[in-house]
Amino acid sequence: MKKILRTREFWLAVVVAVMVFATNIRAPGFATPARLADIFDDSSILIILALGQMVVILSRSIDLSMASNLALSGMIVALVNQAFPAVPVPALMLLAALCGLALGGFNGFFVWRLGIPAIVVTLGTLTIYRGVIFLIAGGQWVNADAFSPGFVAFTRIDFLGLPLLSWYAIVIVAAFYLIMTRTFLGRSFYAIGVNPTAAVYAGINVGKTTFWAFCISGMLSGFAGYLWVSRYVIGSVEVAKGYELTIVAACVIGGISISGGVGTVAGAVLGALFLGVINGALPVINISPFWQMAISGAAIILAVVLNGRSGKQSARLILKEAEHTR
Amino acid sequence: MTDLNSESRFIPDTLVKPWRTAVFSWPTLLFVVAVVLFIVNSFASPYFLSPWSLSDATFNFTEKALIALAMALLIISGEIDLSVASIIALASTMMGLALQFGVGTPGLVLIGIVTGIICGIFNGFLVTKLGLPSIVVTIGTMSFFRGISFIVLGDQAFKGYPPSFSFFGQGYIWWVVSFEFVLFLLCAFAYYLLLHRTNFGRHVFAIGNNPVAARFSGIRVERVKFILFCLTGLMSGVAAVLLTSRLASTRPSIALGWELDAVTMVVLGGVSILGGAGTIQGVVIAAFIMGLVTFGLGLLNIPGIVMSIFIGALLIFVIALPIVFRKVKERRA
């Protein structure tokens, strides 16, 4: 019990809960299960993306191309759906994930084989992937009437009271919990993030593990590409523009250390939910949506300050000498 | 991102000739790329080689390049500032607000620059006094600064800047030589002196290479970094004045995405993203390269989004090429 009280995730959960109830006081009806389910559904895509980014950040890299990857994979499945409406939707989902995997693998290859810093590679692919969308779509949009009914329905169908979109997020969160805590690969991400040299001696291939991190973030981006296009019923160059930093923000709020090795699945999920609750709460308490950006910015700064504080205290006891030299 | 391949070190028995290092240096390579681009451009479009269109070409990169100069120092010191474009938005908004209260041109310029510096101080405080990672801090302030612009402006815009204000972004000093371009060259020279000819510049390199060693050699690491954040804020403020003057309006979405363009310029200019290495010459040539690519492709009626493919590919290609060469060489040896 004491252990739980000391975790960052617990306090973040408390903050999210307090936010929900505070909003409920101003706008009664906000904390009803149906509304909360809506907010979860709205946050689902961000949750999935934050998990992908988490794996990359854990292994001391960063993937700035996730939003462009999402938009490109989404555009590809949108175009396929437009041209061949008969292709079954699960096949399209697989296609989106595979596209994302290929794009993520491209990033990972450069980081692994050529040793170019991840921020440089993904900064480049961020613009390349988005430019490619324009090329393959010829500058056109894929509008709502171009999609087959099934394409749109596969995020909306109600299953046990929740839309399928929410279920995808739940399944991926569960899978990630198992991967990150119970598998060799999952533990490797932490190992190379905490201490790459020690990881080598423990028999972990640092480069290859980083490569897998990019593959995972890419695959989730691609899958989220289908979800995004299906959910908002639009495929365009502008899809998710600037979203890459929102994803990083969700991770940072969730307590995932940008210097690698620290962070949990619960943190990433709560970080995404934190932003989701803010987005859901602002309209109902009559704050102009224009406030949203400044508030989430302030939340990120506050989260970093608080995380920085708590991290320092625990580090001081172990690394007393290193602390002086910092 | 530590290098784990412990390679045996090659120790030469003669000095490398100075002309060889000069010829094979990064700025020289970039310069060749720039010249090639210039020649290709002048063949590709008949409109390229006219003084006026070349002058126009400078406008679309000088503002970003001004920020890139300061960003280069920041990245060499091992930090980064992703909030620069948002600082432009905030500074521009503050100028617009002041305009509503009837502030004149000198006041507007002052407000723009001071807002930039204040934003830089805020970033610098969070990074150096609280010891937080700059990439995260500036992702936060990036939303925060632009968020304030959105709160002030919503979906509105500030317009009606006085005619005398338009000189900064649209005026010419002499014939086709614009004020913006001259200011950029002056700033580039000033930053060259600061980085390569002063103690402060040596400190920046020392910090980027090894902050701990720099501290033990008596360098005030935090103070130098703080100054660099202020400088980046200052240059963003200057860029805000120029851009606002050029567009003659302020919207909250002004300069959206410029932070990545500025970082691309710096990295393309041969500054190591890990810190500790880089030159101002490289950054200046990289700025010209980006200007040439976008302007040349623009003359060929290629849309901006497709140009971004070229810029992104150029970035990865230019960084990857020397590494691939080195790997091939190693394999042969």
Chain A partners within 8 Å of B305 (Cβ): 130-131, 133-134, 237
pLDDT band at A322 (very low <50, low <70, confident <90, very high): very low
Tokens of residue B145, six digits: 């600064």
Q: What is the reported pLDDT for A316?
A: 40
Is residue B13 in some structural domain?
A: no
Strands B177-178 and B172-174 come out as antiparallel
Domains, chain A: 2-325 (1.10.3470)
Is A124–B260 a contact, with Cβ atoms under 8 angstroms apart?
A: no
pLDDT in tens, A230-276: 999 988 888 888 888 889 989 988 989 888 889 999 999 999 999 99
Chain B partners within 8 Å of A326 (Cβ): 131, 212
Element (H, E) at B177: strand B177-178
pLDDT in tens, B233-261: 999 999 999 999 999 999 998 988 888 88
Instruction: Say how far apart CA A116 and CA A124 lie, in whole Å.
Output: 11
Chain A partners within 8 Å of B278 (Cβ): none
Chain B partners within 8 Å of A137 (Cβ): none
User: What is the CB-side half-sphere exposure of residue B71 using CA atoms within 13 A?
Assistant: 36
Element (H, E) at A42: helix A33-58
Residue type, B246: R
Helices B84-100 and B221-247 cross at an angle (nearest 10°) of 50
B174 pLDDT more than 90 = no
Task: End-to-end CA distance of chain A: give it in Å, rounded.
Answer: 34
What percentage of chain A carries pLDDT values higher than 70? 94
Tokens of residue B119, six digits: 């934003």
- Decide: helix, strand or coil at residue A34: helix
Mean pLDDT for chain B overall: 89
Task: End-to-end CA distance of chain B: give it in Å, rounded.
Answer: 26
Instruction: Say how far apart CA B317 and CA B315 lie, in whole Å.
Output: 6
Element (H, E) at A97: helix A89-113
Length of chain B: 333
pLDDT in tens, B74-100: 999 999 999 999 999 999 999 999 999
Tokens of residue B282, six digits: 């490289």
The CA distances from residue B41 to B52, B181, B235, B286, in Å, are 15, 20, 30, 16
Mean pLDDT for chain A overall: 88
Is residue B2 in some structural domain?
A: no
Chain A partners within 8 Å of B308 (Cβ): 127-128, 130-131
pLDDT in tens, B61-74: 999 999 999 999 99
Chain B partners within 8 Å of A139 (Cβ): 303
Is B151–A135 a contact, with Cβ atoms under 8 angstroms apart?
A: no
pLDDT band at B8 (very low <50, low <70, confident <90, very high): low
Which single residue is written with the structure tokens 């959105």? B150
Instruction: Say how far apart CA B111 and CA B97 lie, in whole Å.
Output: 10
Nearest 5 degrees, angle CA A81-CA A147-CA A49? 75
Q: What is the reported pLDDT for B46?
A: 82
A160, burial (CB in 10 Å: exposed 0-12, middle 13-18, buried 19+):
exposed
Is residue B174 in some structural domain?
A: yes
The answer to whether B53 touches B47, Cβ cutoff 8 Å, is: yes
Is residue B28 in some structural domain?
A: no
Q: Is B284 left (phi over 0), alpha (psi -120 to 50) or beta?
A: alpha
Chain B partners within 8 Å of A64 (Cβ): 260
The CA distances from residue A283 to A22, A289, B152, in Å, are 14, 7, 18
Q: What is the reported pLDDT for B139?
A: 86
Of B306, B70, B104, B298, which is closest to residue A131 (Cα–Cα)?
B306
The nearest alpha carbon in chain B to A309 belongs to: B130
Exposure letters A70-99 (e unless 16+ CB within 10 A, then b): bbbbbbbbbbbbbeeeebebeebbebbbbb
What percentage of chain A carries pLDDT values higher than 90? 57
Contacts with B, A 56-85, CB within 8 Å = 60-62, 64
Q: What is the reported pLDDT for B261?
A: 86
Contacts with A, B 12-71, CB within 8 Å = none
B69, burial (CB in 10 Å: exposed 0-12, middle 13-18, buried 19+):
buried
pLDDT band at B300 (very low <50, low <70, confident <90, very high): confident
Contact pairs from chain A to chain B, CB under 8 Å: 160
Q: In CATH, what number is assigned to the domain containing residue B172?
A: 1.10.3470
Which of A245, A298, A326 lies closest to B144 in CB terms? A298
Is residue B29 in some structural domain?
A: no
Tokens of residue B214, six digits: 């720099």
Q: Is any Cβ of chain B less than 8 angstroms from the Cβ of A305?
A: yes
Tokens of residue B218, six digits: 């008596």
Q: Is any Cβ of chain A less than 8 angstroms from the Cβ of B285?
A: no
The CA dihedral of B224, B229, B235, B238, to the nearest 10 degrees, is: -120
Is residue B4 in some structural domain?
A: no
Could you list the residue range(s) of the whole structural domain that residue B293 is in?
56-328
- Decide: helix, strand or coil at residue A238: coil
Tokens of residue A158, six digits: 């109600």
Of A279, A254, A284, which is closest to residue A43 (Cα–Cα)?
A279
Is A127–B320 a contact, with Cβ atoms under 8 angstroms apart?
A: no
The answer to whether B158 touches B249, Cβ cutoff 8 Å, is: yes
Is A131–B323 a contact, with Cβ atoms under 8 angstroms apart?
A: no
User: What is the CB-side half-sphere exposure of residue A207 using CA atoms within 13 A?
Assistant: 12
DSSP state of B8: P
Of A104, A77, A106, A66, which is closest to residue A243 (Cα–Cα)?
A66
Chain A partners within 8 Å of B87 (Cβ): none
The shortest C-alpha distance from B132 to chain A (Å) reads: 6
A1 pLDDT more than 80 = no
Instruction: Say how far apart CA B243 and CA B89 lie, in whole Å.
Output: 10
Q: Is any Cβ of chain A less than 8 angstroms from the Cβ of B253?
A: no
Q: Is any Cβ of chain A less than 8 angstroms from the Cβ of B140?
A: yes
Q: Is any Cβ of chain B less than 8 angstroms from the Cβ of A249?
A: yes
Q: How far is CA B3 from the centre of its chain?
A: 28
pLDDT in tens, A134-154: 999 888 888 888 888 889 888
Helices A265-284 and A292-318 cross at an angle (nearest 10°) of 150
Q: Is any Cβ of chain B less than 8 angstroms from the Cβ of A256?
A: no
pLDDT in tens, B179-233: 999 999 999 999 999 999 999 999 999 999 999 999 999 999 999 999 999 999 9
Is A249–B126 a contact, with Cβ atoms under 8 angstroms apart?
A: no
Is residue B34 in some structural domain?
A: no
Q: Is any Cβ of chain B less than 8 angstroms from the Cβ of A196?
A: yes
Among A72, A241, A278, A290, the residue to mutate for chain B (most B Cβ within 10 A): A290
pLDDT band at B5 (very low <50, low <70, confident <90, very high): low
Q: How many domains does chain B have?
A: 1
pLDDT band at A208 (very low <50, low <70, confident <90, very high): very high
Cβ-based neighbours of B33, under 8 Å, separated by 6 or more: B289, B318
Length of chain A: 326
Contacts with B, A 103-122, CB within 8 Å = 110, 114-121
Kindly provide the residue ranges of all beta strands, DSSP E only, lying in A69-227, ordered along the sequence: 158-159, 162-163
Q: What is the reported pLDDT for A99?
A: 97
Q: Positive or negative CA dihedral for B252, B254, B257, B261?
A: negative
Is B132–A119 a contact, with Cβ atoms under 8 angstroms apart?
A: no
Is residue B23 in some structural domain?
A: no
The nearest alpha carbon in chain B to A128 belongs to: B309
pLDDT band at A315 (very low <50, low <70, confident <90, very high): very low
